Structure 1
Amino acid sequence: MFVNGLKAIIDEYQFDGVDIDFEGGSMNFSAGGLRDISYAGISAYPRLKNVVDAFKELKAYYGPGFLLTAAPETQYVQGGYSTYNDTFGSFLPIIQNLRNELDLLAVQLYNTGGENGLDGQYYGSAKKANMVTGLTDMIIKGYNIGTTGMRFDGLPASKVLIALPACPSAAGSGYLTPTEGINAMNYLRTGTTFSGRTYTMQPGGPYPSLRGLMTWSVNWDASSCGNSSELSKAYAAYFATQSAKLKAEDKIELTSNKTLAYFKDNALAISNEASSIDQVEIYNMLGQSILSYKNIQDTNSLLLENRSFSTKQLFIVIVTDKQGTKKTFKVMNFLN
């Protein structure tokens, strides 16, 4: 009934995804006794298994282009590092068992008292940028869940968003100025330190594919905060700068490899000086396949079109030549 009800709403309004945002008592799945986080393990806890099954069914029904996101509070995720019960860490089994289906996770780094980081230090909202770096690092690296013997494996950085309030009045706590938030994000993405940093990323960072920002909310940012979209403008400028750097780096990489891949009038142009092209595979940054093209014409150049190319985003392009050599590139469509 739950799944059919969601399907009816999605179909009527043509939504392209659904967000999992249980809060308060609804996050109690009566699974505090769980000691096996695998799918087989959660099968003994019907409320938990039913949630996982419902969203697996929705994702399978609508296909990979249908977005599945989640925005839990910190106690239900990072809280499980210190304690696991019916509340603390209760969302971890859902993330773990929907890790293939889940496109984006944005743990709310606001309205919270804070949690312990992987360095054993407590990070509350008063520590601001350090809380962002510490609690985001946890989601990517993974951690042991309390004293249960279970482990949360973490998610790829490309599936993780930093979630912050648009202004102080948008949440009870957790607000960072755009400068502070960008400092934290830039440290996680590039390793560039910032004034007042006390948290150090665990081995494996930085994470250049860290996905971006979620805020509560665009309406607060646009008008309720009285700052004329200050937050969105600041982060847009930051990402534009990063994209420009990426574009320059990609040009150098593509030229040195004697293979070119670039957008021309919203079509992807590919050429190879050394050999004819055999296969081209294109993915978005979520790892979803956009296009797989077999070149039966035995040519050294291609011009490929796809409706996904009409949106500004970053693509992973894998080019295989007739000798079987594969080259992988990140190519941004800047729509200009």
Structure 2
Amino acid sequence: MRSTFLCLFSLLVFPLQAAQAQGTVPVFTHTAGQASYTFTGSDPAQQTVTTIPTLLVPITLSFEAKKIGGKSFELSADADVPRVLGSPVYSKFAFASGERTQYIDAMLRATFPAAKGWHTLLGKPQVKPVKITIPVGYGYVLTSKKNGGAVAVVDIEFLQKELFKQLPKQDGKLVIALTHNTTYYALSDATVCCSWGTHGIDSATGNSFVLASYLHGTPAIVEDRDVQPLTAQLAEFFYDPLHDPLVTTPMFQQSSAAHGNVFPRWMRPASLSTGEEGSCGGSGVGSTYFNLQPTDTNHKNDFPASKPFAARTKNDTYHLQNVALLQWYVGSSEGTGSRFSFPDLQALTAAAAPCPTRFGRREGSSPEPSVEPKQQSGASNGHELIGYWTGHSRAGVPFQLRDVSPQWDVIIVAFASPDKTSPGTLHFHPPVGIDPAQFKQDVAYMKSHGKKVMISLGGGGQFFTMPDAESTERFLSSVTSIVSEYGFDGIDLDFESPSLSIDAGDTDFKHPTTPSIVNMISALRKLHDHFGPSFMISLVPEGTQIPSGYPSYGGQFGSYLPLAYATRDILSFVDVQDYNTPPLQGLDGEIYQIGSADYDAAMTELLLHGFNVGGNPAHFFPGLPARQVAVGFLTGYSTPQHVSEAMDFIITGKAPVNSTYKLRKPGGYPDMIGAMFWTIDADRGSGYKYSNLIGPQLHGYPASK
């Protein structure tokens, strides 16, 4: 209960030797009610000045995925060092209290304002430049044609490990590692993006560290500037010095293994909400995976963004991160201040609201809607509403397949799951509470009403590989059995990262050598030959698996390109997930991120017109016909209005207000199929607000050819 954290505070201090055994900097522990929190520095009650020695490490990143004149493209933080030293990170600045001091010292003093003689300062750093190569498959570079700015997207766990291969134990020091114009993804999965850095204890060396990016000359889409990312990670480190960034936990959860400090699970302030359903930030100082502050307004897969505090010095203006103070997380009490944010005291004006005991509904659960689904009338026009059905029950009442709204044209049943002990094998059982015989009757019923019913293979969080002939035979046997038993019209491939990842050295999507990919192509053709020309095959790649093949090809990046190319003559459609993807670049040379019709149009035109894979003109991926392309949306993330605008933009060429992307074909693509949604269940639970709007819109367009 939150009330247990509103008690009076007492202060406890670990012996310095014990604290330093858990890192390379001194820490103290502060107890609030029944919970204890560890901070960097010394006990405020001692009224001492603590100066923490620092090692400032400017990193040069060399990207094998981007070559200029035969040389790897580099982003170097060497030139950023003088500006960091001149910023309030190291130099004194007059904050709201009127006292001139460093950013971190002022933040801690805003947390414990009663400790008048207490200071925690960063010592003048030793500077040690390092260079790290980012192999293909571990990151890529995006550039802006308009201003020439570049920003990189990199695997943060990989970078941390490579960094500390070059840095031995720094006894007593804080390592501050600095990259230039680089954002990061976690869990080696580029759809788990984006942050500007991380912090904590490196488990390999025991070093206390902060890793962050300095931003200068970035593309216009990047809103944060200069030392804002560094101040954010420093603030979180001083509030959470025992964090181990290589220990991960499920979304919206934190554990003592991952964080020294575990707060009551907090919600993002409504005033900073992006409109995305589910705004629980987690139970750490920063949100799970991303280390984002409560003041950040972005959501998953965007560049971090928040309103900065402008610190105007004699020589320059620096942009500092507004951060939540301890009292925002646990409430104000004796010993702490009454403000909730720093440096802008108005960035957060009320304490954190707790997350619900149970976070949201189970995905796919569908309460009885209060409105009726719209009926579909008229002949098919070639435009289709495609959706995934899970059939999960609510209050013990399953959502039957035959009860799907008539607006849905293609129903994809989720999922046939991989067998973890038998590579290649997949299993399918109807959802709990749905009788298999009844389900088969429902499939036949939907097909008799002109609907297509497919089975999706895989699903998020499932790993699939097909490395040899034996696993290929198991795949063919199990899929053939599932399709035949239930009468499905075809299969949908939803093997997400790291499934079907491109092996190192496999560089030509037209002639792949990765066994899982080669075997999958062969298996798809055999299935099509077995079931006949009406057998449907669809691909639902994440953004990393096709559009990310534009800036880089390897690993997860572009992994569906060989499949799409080799099966284009038997492929029913491709619907890229425009919600499970990091920032990417369009054919116009500009960078786009999810949540806008511009992004949907830019990513769709990559498929329609084709692109140089990995930026290499020698490896051009030819575009697919519009009749084979749909766009994937997430209910609750994309609003119905956003989807409606995107469909009008792509199909008719009618650009939304404030759109900046220009279609290469101004009149749009009237043959483009339409929209896919995850999920039909969630649409039903929201009162058909997607299908009742988008279905009639798609079915009302002129017939495609």
TM-score (norm 2): 0.32
Match of 1:242 in 2: 701
- For the residue of structure 2 that corresponds to 1:107, the secondary structure is strand
Q: Is the 8 A contact 2:597 2:649 kept in 1?
A: no
Aligned ranges 1:163-312 → 2 under 5 Å: 163-168=632-637, 175=638, 177-203=639-665, 206-223=668-685, 227-243=686-702, 246=703
1:82 aligns with 2:544: no
Residues 130 and 197, structure 1, Cα contact 8 Å, conserved in 2: yes
Identify the match of residue 136 of structure 1 among 604, 608, 629: 604
In the alignment, is the contact (CA less than 8 A) between 1:158 and 1:211 conserved in 2?
yes
Secondary structure at the counterpart of residue 482 of structure 2: helix
Aligned positions of 1:146-161 closer than 5 A: 146-148=614-616, 149-161=618-630
Which of 37, 41, 50 is the matching residue for 2:509?
37
Which of 4, 10, 25 is matched with 2:498 structurally? 25
1:171 counterpart residue number: none
- 1:293-332 Cα offsets, whole Å, 9 max, x none, are xxxxxxxxxxxxxxxxxxxxx7xxxxxxxxxxxxxxx6xx
* 8 Å contact from structure 1 (residues 114, 131) kept in 2: no
Superposed CA deviations along residues 116-156 of structure 1, whole A, max 9, x for unmatched, are 11111111124x11111111111111000014431111211
What are the superposed Cα offsets for residues 22-75 of structure 1, whole Å, 9 maximum, x if unpaired? 112113142x4233332xx22x43222101001111111111111101111001
> Does the residue aligned with 2:587 lie in a helix, a strand or coil?
coil
Q: CA–CA distance in 2 between the matches of 1:159 and 1:88?
A: 21
User: Match of 1:119, as an amino acid?
Assistant: D
Matched, 1:109 2:109: no
Question: What code does the residue aligned with 2:649 have?
Answer: Y
Farther off after superposition, 67-76 or 141-150 = 141-150
Equivalent residue, structure 1, for 2:6? none
* Partners of 1:99 and 1:64 in 2: CA distance: 13
Partner in structure 1 of residue 487 of structure 2: 14
Q: 1:190 to 1:204 in 2, by over 3 A?
A: closer
Write the distance in 1 (CA, Å) between the matches of 2:500 and 2:518: 13
Q: Give the secondary structure class of the aligned counterpart of 1:201.
A: coil
For 1:237, give the aligned amino acid. Answer: P
Distance 2:666 2:556 in 1: 30
Instruction: Give 1:179 shift.
Output: 2.0
Residue aligning to 1:120: 589
Counterpart AA for 2:689: E
**1:66, 1:181 → 2: CA distance?**
29
AA of the residue aligned to 2:565: Q
Amino acid at match of 2:482: I
Aligned in 2, Cα 1:240/1:95: closer, same or farther, shift over 3 Å? closer
TM-score by length of 1: 0.65
Q: Write the deviation string for residues 174-215 of structure 1: whole angstroms up to 9, x where unpaired.
A: x2x222222221121111222011111124862100101110
TM-aligned CA deviation for residue 218 of structure 1: 0.3
Alpha carbons of structure 1 residues 58 and 111: separation in structure 2 relative to 1, 3 Å: same
Distance 2:564 2:699 in 1: 30
Give the aligned partner of residue 287 of structure 1: none
Identify the residue that residue 288 of structure 1 maps to in structure 2.
none
Cα drift, residue 113 of structure 1: 2.1
Relative distance call for 1:50 and 1:62 in structure 2 (3 A) is: same
Which residue number corresponds to residue 321 of structure 1? none
Q: Is the 8 A contact 1:20 1:71 kept in 2?
A: yes
Q: Give the helix-richer structure, 1 or 2.
A: 1
Q: Secondary structure at the match of 1:88?
A: coil
Q: Please give the secondary structure, in 1, of the residue aligned with 2:623.
A: coil
**Kept after mapping to 2: 8 A contact 1:74/1:114:** no
SS at match of 1:235: helix
- Number of equivalenced pairs: 231
% identical aligned pairs = 31
- CA 1:54–1:234 in 2, change beyond 3 Å: closer, same or farther? same
In structure 1, C-alpha distance between the alignment counterparts of 2:508 and 2:499, rounded to whole Å: 21
Q: Counterpart amino acid of 1:26?
A: S
Residue pair 2:476, 2:527 contacting (<8 A) in 1 also: yes
Higher-Rg structure is 2
In structure 2, relative to structure 1, the CA distance for the partners of 1:200 and 1:68 (3 Å cut) is same
Amino acid at match of 2:601: T
Which residue in 2 is equivalent to 1:69?
538
Query: Structure 2 CA distance, aligned partners of 1:137 and 1:15?
Result: 30
Q: In 1, Cα distance between the equivalents of 2:670 and 2:624?
A: 14
Question: Secondary structure at the residue paired with 1:163?
Answer: strand
* Rounded Cα–Cα distance in structure 2 between residues aligned with 1:154 and 1:167: 30
Stretches of structure 1 that go unaligned for 5 or more consecutive residues are 169-174, 247-313, 315-329, 331-336
**What do the CA deviations read for 1:212-232 (whole angstroms, capped 9, x no partner)?**
111000001101xxx201000
Which residues in structure 2 correspond to 1:310-325 (within 5 Å)? Answer: none
Matching residue's letter, 1:68: I
Q: Which amino acid aligns with 2:562?
A: P
Amino acid in the other structure paired with 1:154: G
Cα distance between partner residues in 1 of 2:542 and 2:671: 23
CA distance, structure 1, for counterparts of residue 675 and residue 502 of structure 2? 28
Work out whether residues 550 and 558 of structure 2, in 8 Å CA contact, stay in contact via their aligned partners in 1.
Answer: yes
What amino acid is aligned across from residue 589 of structure 2 in structure 1? G
